[in-house]
């Protein structure tokens, strides 16, 4: 994929992995829009990056529709969707509630699916396109307290494999990226970035992995890519 002048939509792009990915892709000449739920953060991040900012919650179908209307109104076409928006919650099995599952799945599973569904319609018509789903190593192996979050990422991994099978005949590439622990605002109720730790991943490493995968010639793609910290111990 040629990144120069490519049009790219990144959900959850105001902080962490989404922000760093937007920055790297814009530096490579792409035209990028980012979404987020906090209008102040969206406005600030968009200005810093030189991106189009869209205030939207992927868990709300009306916001998904509005996001695409705004994006296509600005750029005219979509070359790549990066499903980065995600939230998490840790609960022991005896503490699980349906409400917790519904809240996390609304973003991590249903939101990602609805964003991809709209993108797939466009990509089938133009016979090209890219979908990047940001999952987690939690989507490959469960852990204590991970029933809600890990299962949502297992679901995203399963959907990714289905979309790969459905969209390959239309020259559409679907990638799954599994970061291990990254020092971002993820899981922080105040949504403040955690300080950098030398033995942990940063958003920059994941952004580089996404960029590298996308830059492969369109005749090939990487179905799944996992990024580990070299020595997190």
The enclosing H or E element of 119 equals helix 112-126
Q: What is the mean pLDDT of residues 94-102?
A: 98
What is the phi/psi pair of residue 213, to 5°? -65, -45
Check pLDDT > 60 for residue 188. Answer: no
Residue 140's pLDDT is 97
pLDDT of 68 higher than 60:
yes
Local confidence band at 198 (pLDDT 50, 70, 90 cut-offs):
confident
pTM recorded for the entire structure? 0.94
Q: Where are the domains of the chain?
A: 7-106+114-152+160-227
Q: What is the predicted pLDDT for the residue at 20?
A: 98
Residue 189 has pLDDT above 90, yes or no: no
pLDDT over 70 percentage in the chain:
95
Sheet containing strand 80-83, edge to edge, reads 52-55, 31-36, 7-10, 80-83, 129-134, 172-179, 224-227
pLDDT band at 190 (very low <50, low <70, confident <90, very high): low
Instruction: Indicate if the pLDDT at residue 34 is higher than 60.
Output: yes
**Which CATH number applies to 7-106+114-152+160-227: 3.90.950.10, 1.10.3720.10, 3.40.640.10, 3.40.50.720?**
3.40.50.720
Q: Which residues have a catalytic role annotated?
A: 149
24 pLDDT more than 80: yes
**pLDDT tens-digit series, residues 100-139:** 999 999 999 999 999 999 999 999 999 999 999 999 999 9
Q: What SS3 class is residue 32? A: strand
């Amino acid at each position: 994929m040629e990144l120069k002048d490519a049009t790219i939509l990144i959900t959850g792009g105001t902080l962490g992995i989404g922000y760093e990915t937007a920055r790297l892709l814009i530096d490579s000449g792409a035209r990028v829009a980012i979404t987020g739920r906090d209008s102040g953060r969206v406005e600030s991040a968009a200005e810093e990056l030189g991106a189009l900012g869209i205030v939207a919650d992927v868990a709300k179908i009306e916001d998904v529709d509005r996001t695409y209307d705004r994006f296509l109104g600005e750029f005219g076409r979509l070359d790549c969707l990066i499903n980065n928006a995600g939230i998490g919650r840790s609960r022991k099995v005896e503490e699980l509630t349906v409400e917790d599952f519904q809240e996390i799945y609304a973003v991590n599973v249903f939101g990602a699916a609805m964003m991809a569904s709209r993108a797939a319609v466009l990509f089938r018509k133009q016979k090209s396109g890219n979908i990047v789903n940001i999952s987690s190593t939690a989507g490959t192996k469960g852990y204590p307290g991970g029933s809600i979050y890990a299962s949502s990422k297992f679901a995203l991994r399963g959907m990714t494999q289905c979309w790969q099978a459905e969209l390959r005949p239309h020259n559409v590439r679907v990638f799954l990226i599994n970061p291990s622990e990254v020092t971002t605002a993820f899981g922080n109720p105040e949504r403040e970035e955690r300080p950098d730790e030398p033995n942990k991943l940063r958003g920059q490493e994941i952004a580089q992995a996404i960029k590298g995968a996308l830059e492969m010639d369109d005749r090939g793609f990487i179905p799944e890519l996992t990024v580990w910290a070299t020595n997190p111990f």
